[in-house]
Amino acid sequence: MFCFQCEQTARGTGCTGKQGVCGKSAEVAGLEDQLTGAMIALSQGIVAGAAATAASDRAVMRGLFTCITNVDFDPASVQAAIDHVHAVKTAIAPFDTTPDFDMDALWNEGDEDVRSLKSLVLFGIRGTAAYAYHAAALGRSSRKVFDFFYKALAAIGSDTAADDLLVLVDEAGAVNLDCMAMLDEANTGTYGTPVPTIVPLTVEDGPFIVVTGHDLKDLEELLDQTDGTGVNVYTHGEMLPAHAYPELKRHPQLKGNFGTAWQNQQREFDNLPAPILWTTNCLMPPRKSYADRVWTTGVVDFPGCAHIDDTKGGAKDFSGVIDQAKRLGGYAEAQEFTGINGGHEVTCGFGHGSVLGVADKVIDAVKSGEIRHIFLVGGCDGAKPGRNYYTDFVKATPANSLVLTLACGKFRFNDLDLGTVVGLPRILDMGQCNDAYSAIQVAVALAKAFDCSVNELPLSIVLSWYEQKAVCVLLTLLHLGIKSIKLGPSLPAFVSPGVLDVLVKSYDIAPAGTVEDDLAGCLA
Ligand code: FSO
Ligand code: SF4
């Protein structure tokens, strides 16, 4: 196998051998390559003139999402996805005999910059596909996004020059911005504008379900089906921001948040007296102590674990999870859990709706110097050492600064009480990784108010990355011309020295250094 798409890749160069660091088997890695190769052949046919269909759009969106880190560990379901792509291709282009692309040709590409740029595009669109998938669950889709998937996949499987690939990298960032906007509209249009919400970390007595991942539609259906059952629901990881949506928080059984970021799940779920539902990525191979309580749905799958089908249409049937929660019964007494820093609650709901609602206040405070600087400290968490940088960085930010945050990296510091500035909590949780869109809206609004570019604002972006959604978000920030991003905890293995040179020269992007140096640089 060969895979180097995520931050924890073996030796910082690539996972090889029988299994990746994430637990993905060589068999699944090979099947994911075959799936990608099949989608490339399908896309080449469509780019050459075959008409895309709703089935091909969906097959490619699902197929790309399936290959994201920590999504699908089940050879059978990846094989089914390959078979489906083949069937879709035969249906739309019965006489097209283009063979599936062999991904070894990409991994062994002699020009390391071409390999790097094609990988950047591929991993970026995998991330975008996840956002498109959540938007689709809420009835939104975009022709432009689907067409870009075909265009990008076709280019990856063709002789494409580095200069053309650089243009494609920029386009991937632009398309992801559109996709995040679509998902933002889908989430807020369906569930209302997030409002600042304090979320307890205590788990009450009685039966409960823990739900993790990003899919708000799954949570909505679970809440509808647990209404009046006496079964409580707790969010985990990237589901935490759901507490801020009016149409979700109206369910009284949506009680609080359990646990922290994805990489702690094996410890946190050990012997949990409740089932856990994964709606998207960040599934780790379950330990025996809780494997019988793991439920997956959508594209998430693990061999031997219960899976809730999503292909029949209509609401998903969560009765099996609910019944198991009742049987397990939960804790006999309320359990007071804390965040990583000992806090008993966290606050979320500071999306662009709430922050721009107080924009005048923020703008006045920046003008008067009451707010000296705004930091966006966001992105993924992960298991590798070095991520304490983000906790230390946030702790070291001056008292007259704001820290905007999003995605799962925030669990390292979101239970800290850093006080307030101009009446706002100093840490403002904007939501999931896709809510990078909110951060962009806020930055753009501030730049407009100050009649300057985003790069001239007293704003610094400190990003942590782990998997491919962070890649597409980074591509969007670069597309917007945002400079001097600090990226860590390590640089992607798939960025070649030549491509890094372009990123440094064009965008002044820099690897995270020491907290002291980086903070001083931001405040200079
Ligand atoms: Fe991923 Fe990162 Fe959204 Fe986390 S981009 S790892 S679970 O921040 O959040 O999906
Ligand atoms: Fe390795 Fe990451 Fe690929 Fe898993 S997703 S095989 S850890 S590079």
192-205 residue pLDDT tens: 999 999 999 999 99
Which ligand approaches the C-alpha of residue 18 most closely?
A: 2
Rg (the chain; Cα; Å): 22
Nearest Cα to Cα of residue 257 among 135, 347, 153, 375: 347
Residue 510 has a pLDDT of 92
Atom of ligand 2 nearest to the CA of 69: 5
The whole-number average pLDDT for the span 74-78 is 98
Cα–Cα distances in Å, from 390 out to 336, 385, 488, 522? 25, 11, 9, 14
Whether the predicted pLDDT of 401 surpasses 90:
yes
pLDDT of residue 329: 98
Residue 406 has pLDDT above 90, yes or no: yes
Residue range 83-104: average pLDDT? 96
pLDDT band of 373, cuts 50, 70, 90: very high
Question: How much is the pLDDT for 386?
Answer: 79
- What angle do the packed helices 112-137 and 216-226 form, to 10 degrees? 30
The pLDDT of residue 384 is 80
ipTM at complex level: 0.94
**Residue whose CA is closest, atom 5 of ligand 2?**
69
The 8-class DSSP code of residue 15 comes to B
Distance 469 CA to ligand 1 centre (A): 7
Nearest CA to ligand 1 atom 3: 433
- Give the residue whose CA is nearest to atom 6 of ligand 2: 20
Residues with CB under 6 A from ligand 2: 3-6, 8-9, 15, 20-22, 24, 69
The H or E element spanning position 28 is helix 26-47
pLDDT at 385 over 80: no
Nearest by Cα to 295 from 313, 269, 315, 314: 269
Reported in sequence order, the residue ranges of 204-305 that DSSP labels E, i.e. its strands, are: 208-212, 232-236, 254-257, 276-278, 294-297
Looking at residue 312, its pLDDT comes to 74
User: What pLDDT sits at residue 210?
Assistant: 98
Three-state secondary-structure class, residue 347: strand
Residue 288 has pLDDT above 80, yes or no: yes
What is the band of 302 on the pLDDT scale with cuts at 50, 70, 90? Answer: very high
Ligand 1 neighbours by CB, cut-off 6 Å: 214, 237-238, 262, 281-282, 379-380, 407-408, 432-433, 466-467, 469-470
457 three-state secondary structure: coil
Q: Which of the listed residues 4, 11, 22 should we mutate to test ligand 2's pocket, taking the one with most ligand atoms within 8 A of CB?
A: 22
Which ligand 2 atom sits closest to the C-alpha of 5?
8
Closest ligand 1 atom to residue 434 Cα is 3
Residue 310 has pLDDT above 80, yes or no: no
Question: Best mutation site among 2, 3, 19 for ligand 2, i.e. most ligand atoms within 8 A of its Cβ?
Answer: 3
**Residue 70: pLDDT above 90?**
yes
Q: Residue 314: what pLDDT?
A: 87
Predicted local distance difference test score (pLDDT) of residue 147: 98
User: What pLDDT score does 309 carry?
Assistant: 85
The two tokens of residue 488 are 């860590």
8 Å CB contact between 441 and 356:
yes
